[in-house]
Structure 1
Amino acid sequence: MLSLYQKYWRTAFDIALIVLTVWLIMFSFSYLYKIATPVFLSFLVFLCIEPLARRLHKLGIRKALASGISVLLFTAILLAALAGIGFMFYHQTSELVKKLPDYQVQVEAQIRAITAEVQQRSDSLPDGVADKLQSAAENIVKFGTKLATNLFNGTVGFVSSFSSFVLNFTIAIILAYFLSVEIDMWKRLAGERSPRTLKTAFTFLRENVFKGIGAYLKAQMKLISVTFLVILVALFALRVNNALTIALLAAFFDVLPLLGVSTLFIPWILYLFIVGQTGLAIWLSALLLVVTLTRQFLEPRITGQTVGVSAFTMLAFMVISLSFFGVAGLILAPILMILLKALYDQGYFHRWIRWPKEEFNVAPFMPAAAETTVPGGPTPTSTPPPPTGEARP
Structure 2
Amino acid sequence: MLSLYQKYWRTVFDIGIIALTVWLTMYIFSYLYNLATPVFLSFLVFWIIEPLARLLNRWGLRKSIASGISVLLFTLVILAIFVGLGFVFTQQIIQLSEDLPKYTAQLQEQISNITGNLQGRIEALPPGIEDKLNDAITFVTNQGATWAGVFLTWLAGFLTSFSSFVLNFSIAIILAYFLSLEIETWKQLSKERSPKTLKIAFEFLRNNVFKGIGAYLKAQGKLISITFGVIFVALLALGVNNAFSIALLAGFFDVLPLLGVNTLFIPWIAYLFITGETNLAIWLTGLLLVVTLTRQILEPRITGQTVGVSAFTMLAFMMVSLSLFGVAGLILAPILMILLKALYDQGYFNKWIRYPREEFIVPPLAPQQSELVVPADKDRP
Most deviating of 51-60 and 316-325: 316-325
Aligned to 2:218: 218
Query: Percent same amino acid among aligned pairs?
Result: 68
1:185 matches 2:185: yes
8 Å Cα contact 1:370/1:383 also seen in 2: no
Structure 2 CA distance for aligned equivalents of residues 304 and 316 of structure 1: 21
Cα deviation, 1:321-345, whole Å, max 9, x if unaligned, reads 2232222122111111111122223
Aligned to 1:194: 194
Structure 2 CA distance for aligned equivalents of residues 169 and 384 of structure 1: 41
Cα distance, 1:304 vs structure 2: 5.0
Change (3 A) 1:310 1:302: farther
Cα deviation, 1:173-203, whole Å, max 9, x if unaligned, reads 1111111111111112111211111111111
- Map of 1:86-125 to 2, 5 A cutoff? 86-125=86-125
Structure 1 CA distance for aligned equivalents of residues 356 and 150 of structure 2: 56
1:385 to 364, 376, 379: 376
Runs of 4+ with deviation above 6 angstroms: none
Structure 1 CA distance for aligned equivalents of residues 244 and 235 of structure 2: 9
User: Could you list the runs of 5+ residues in structure 1 that have no partner in the other structure?
Assistant: 373-381
SS of corresponding position for 1:220: helix
* Equivalenced residues, count: 381
Aligned to 1:151: 151
8 Å Cα contact 2:108/2:138 also seen in 1: yes
Structure 2 CA distance for aligned equivalents of residues 141 and 357 of structure 1: 56
How does the TM-score come out when normalised to structure 2?
0.91
8 Å Cα contact 1:303/1:310 also seen in 2: no
Change (3 A) 1:122 1:73: same
8 Å Cα contact 1:272/1:281 also seen in 2: yes
Most deviating of 264-273 and 177-186: 264-273
Cα distance, 1:302 vs structure 2: 4.6
Structure 2 CA distance for aligned equivalents of residues 300 and 160 of structure 1: 37
Aligned to 1:52: 52
SS of corresponding position for 2:326: helix
Structure 2 CA distance for aligned equivalents of residues 123 and 309 of structure 1: 56
8 Å Cα contact 1:46/1:176 also seen in 2: yes
CA RMSD, Structure 1 to Structure 2 (Å):
2.4
Change (3 A) 1:61 1:347: same
SS of corresponding position for 2:305: helix
Cα distance, 1:161 vs structure 2: 1.4
Structure 2 CA distance for aligned equivalents of residues 323 and 143 of structure 1: 24
What is the one-letter code of the residue matched to 1:319? M
What is the one-letter code of the residue matched to 1:97? S
- Map of 1:3-14 to 2, 5 A cutoff? 3-14=3-14
8 Å Cα contact 1:303/1:311 also seen in 2: no
What is the one-letter code of the residue matched to 2:16? A
Change (3 A) 1:182 1:139: same
Aligned to 2:134: 134
Change (3 A) 1:370 1:133: closer
User: Could you list the runs of 5+ residues in structure 2 that have no partner in the other structure?
Assistant: none
SS of corresponding position for 1:306: coil
8 Å Cα contact 2:119/2:125 also seen in 1: yes
